[in-house]
A and B are shown apart, each in its own frame.
Chain A
Amino acid sequence: MEVTSYATDMKKRNISTSGFSLVELLVGTVLFTIITGAVFSLLMSAQLRYSGESNVTEAFQQANVAIDQIVRDVHSAGYPPKTSLPLNTSSDFYALPFAWSPNYAGIPCTAGPGGSCTIPGDSDLIVEADTGSGVKWIRYSLQNGTLMRGVATKSGTDPVGSTNANLAPYLDNVINPTSVPVFSYRFDSALPQPTSPPPPPVSLIREVNITLMVRSALPDPQTHQFRTIMLTGQATRFNPNQ
């Protein structure tokens, strides 16, 4: 082996193990910056989307839970029926399916469009049911964008006043416009059908249709707009008419 040749070779080896050249570092840094920038951009976008979707999902879940609870209450509306109890038993011990206003517990008002009831109405409903601890008035009322729920033991003749004191927020950010009632009703048919049907009485409500338009609690981080979902549910009363 020649001496010159050996020295040159050793120099090259030193260069190869001494690190990157400046150009290499610059190129590497630029590439790294571009790639990580893209990844972080993607991550940020996903994070914003996640945050926005979380808001919507939360609103959806809360509305879902509310509808499920309303459905369960309506299922048992009217339990126990008056027929279960001896005659002349106080009405506090049996459940009419739905309480009404005005004139509770007189002759039931008429429900639905054109009816004389304020409750049950488009945004107010009072279910009567015994769910295990005596007959309760279970009221759902939309007040200032919040669906309230209140439970009071049935006693006397003022379901509205009794439940007013117990109303508590149950679902926030409900934005149903007047044209989209929270509660609408289907009735058992009166037989035979009247020639000019008047609004049916509360006592014939068989199904409660629930529509909830719920706005997300926070605006979407990307669009800065509130997002809205609409959920519908249908609850059937299984107890017989009284």
Chain B
Amino acid sequence: MPDNMRRRTQKRRVHSERGVAIVIAIFTLMLISVVATAMILMSGTDSAIKSNYKSAMHAFYDAKAGLEEGRGRLFWPNPNIPNPVASCVFPTPGAVMPVTRVCYIVNPSDVNPLDLSASNPYADFEYKQEWGIAVTDASLQVQQPFITSTSVIPNAGVGGTDIAGPLYKWVRITPRTQTSAKLAGDVTDTNPLFYNGVQQLASSGGNPVPNAVQVLTITALAVTPYGSRRMVQYTVAVSPLATALPTFPSALTLDGNGVSFTGPNAGNGNGNGNGGGPGSFQINGKDSSAGPSGSSGVPAIGYTNSDDGPSISTAAVPSGNYLSPGGTPNVGLVSLPPILQTPSGLDSLVQNITQAADLVITPSSGTADQTSLPSGMSAANPMVVVVNGNFNLHGNGTGYGLLLVTGTLDYDPDASWNGVILVIGKGIFVSTRNGIGTITGAVFVAQTHDASGNLLSDPSLMRSSFTQKSGSGIRYSSGLVAATQALLPYQVLSFREIPQATP
């Protein structure tokens, strides 16, 4: 047999065996593919579900970040830098935001909530739900161009790229009315709502309500790249302290019934630390911010229960140490807003301030001292400090800002404080040492808790106690009071989530 014929025969035999291998291989591969596909589908479904959940949570916190940007930018403690948000919201500083006014913060800058076409995923249809008219209605004053978000940090990323902030799309700020809030009762009232520290109040004619601040609504929409949408809403008003005490009624205010006041008298210090007489101690209600004339100001000591007047007047001697502007009693009855007349109202004020504090000191031993104060505190950088316990304000330093003490404040008048001191809780201010320090601003003392720390059940049980034997006393300053008020941001009155079609 020739070689070429033998090779052909052997080749055919090899071909026949290769066919079996291919069949087996294909069948095996098919089975493995089925298993692999099932596993991929299973894990893919799990991943998709988890991804959806993550995206929905992401959208919620993005939207919440938008609310906080709106709230934060309304509050602008530095008066020397223009505030575009406040300028957008209020026609002029201190004015009421008209009900027809609408302000947007957009993120990024090309987002247009006014484009109500179906193709715009960021269209603001919610406005119509609240106000009954589309946000594009000609009667509205939508402030344009829109304010851009500050959440993007430009050129800070790798290679000079921008660092994206939270993915909210827009934040809208509007006034609040009973109609827009869909509140019970008179839902046809379209006048702005105001807040007096206890209640939101209807206004009339677009005029502000006395001793109350305007309520604003902040709404934020977030949409993630995966399509999750969340919309949330705050109602806000300026800080509770500013609401309750836009100007303090007296240099030293003793809130409650049966309050006690003890000042220096003969033999109990002279204000210069040497002892011997009342000396330079003063509680002075003349406004130090108004210049030396002292033509404006408040009573030196204010009390809230007329029955306490005689005992305080008897203790506040010599009367020359207790000064007030002409026509204003040195020691007089003052009225306080409702929130400051009850233990629970005062307690809520304390909690609001605590939430906005730069530093909350909760001493493990029950008592903290001045060494716990933040080192960065200065005249240019006043702070809000809350002491949840007793506090010894000793030493020779000066504090700046708002000091809130819920326990006993032991004040050594070698120290000074520029700003406001609130002693709300046990309501005890005691100063038995000598010194020449001054508290410039205002002091407010109120008891809300009993000796065991339980909230008083009845306003009639509120006592407060002020004792100072030496030092230069207290000097009222409307300027420092106002500067302290500006340390506290807008407070949140309520929060809700507005359901969206795509969660």
B181 touching A191, Cβ below 8 Å: no
B496 touching A68, Cβ below 8 Å: no
Report which A residues bind B (CB closer than 8 A). 1, 5, 8-9, 12-13, 16-17, 20, 24, 28, 31-32, 35-36, 39-40, 42-43, 46-47, 50, 53-54, 57, 61, 64, 68, 72, 75-76, 78-81, 83-87, 89-90, 93-94, 129-132, 188-198, 238-241
Q: A17-B12, A85-B184, A131-B499 are in contact. Are A193 and B492 (CB under 8 A)?
A: no
A196 touching B494, Cβ below 8 Å: no
B218 CB, min distance to chain A CBs, angstroms: 13
Which single member of A72, A195, A239 contacts B495 (CB below 8 Å)?
A239
B455 touching A76, Cβ below 8 Å: no
Q: A83-B493, A192-B453, A241-B351 are in contact. Are A9 and B5 (CB under 8 A)?
A: yes
Residue B307 CB within 8 A of the other chain: no
Q: A31 to B23, alpha carbons, bound, how many Å?
A: 12
B331 CB, min distance to chain A CBs, angstroms: 29
Residue B13 CB within 8 A of the other chain: yes
Q: A99 to B32, alpha carbons, bound, how many Å?
A: 57
A43 touching B495, Cβ below 8 Å: no
Report which B residues bind A (CB closer than 8 A). 1-2, 5-6, 9, 12-13, 16-17, 20, 24, 27-28, 31-32, 34-35, 38-39, 42, 46, 49, 53, 56, 181, 183-185, 195, 198-202, 235, 347-348, 350-352, 354, 362, 388-389, 406-407, 425-426, 449, 452-455, 491-499
A79 touching B496, Cβ below 8 Å: yes
B273 CB, min distance to chain A CBs, angstroms: 31
Q: A36 to B28, alpha carbons, bound, how many Å?
A: 7
Residues on B with beta carbons closer than 8 Å to the beta carbon of A94: 184
Residues on B with beta carbons closer than 8 Å to the beta carbon of A28: 20
Closest to A77 in B: B495
Please give me the 7 A-B residue pairs with the lowest Cβ-Cβ distance, nearest first. Answer: A194-B453, A93-B184, A238-B495, A192-B406, A79-B496, A39-B31, A192-B425
Q: A50 to B43, alpha carbons, bound, how many Å?
A: 10
Q: A28 to B20, alpha carbons, bound, how many Å?
A: 8
Closest to A82 in B: B199
B35 touching A192, Cβ below 8 Å: no
Residues on A with beta carbons closer than 8 Å to the beta carbon of B12: 13, 16-17
Which single member of B16, B42, B49, B455 contacts A54 (CB below 8 Å)?
B42
B185 touching A89, Cβ below 8 Å: yes
Q: A50 to B34, alpha carbons, bound, how many Å?
A: 13
Which single member of B38, B49, B183 contacts A93 (CB below 8 Å)?
B183
A-B contact pairs, 8 of them (CB 8 A): A9-B6, A16-B9, A39-B28, A47-B38, A83-B199, A190-B455, A192-B449, A240-B491
Residues on A with beta carbons closer than 8 Å to the beta carbon of B195: 83
Residues on B with beta carbons closer than 8 Å to the beta carbon of A42: 35
Which single member of B5, B13, B183 contacts A85 (CB below 8 Å)?
B183
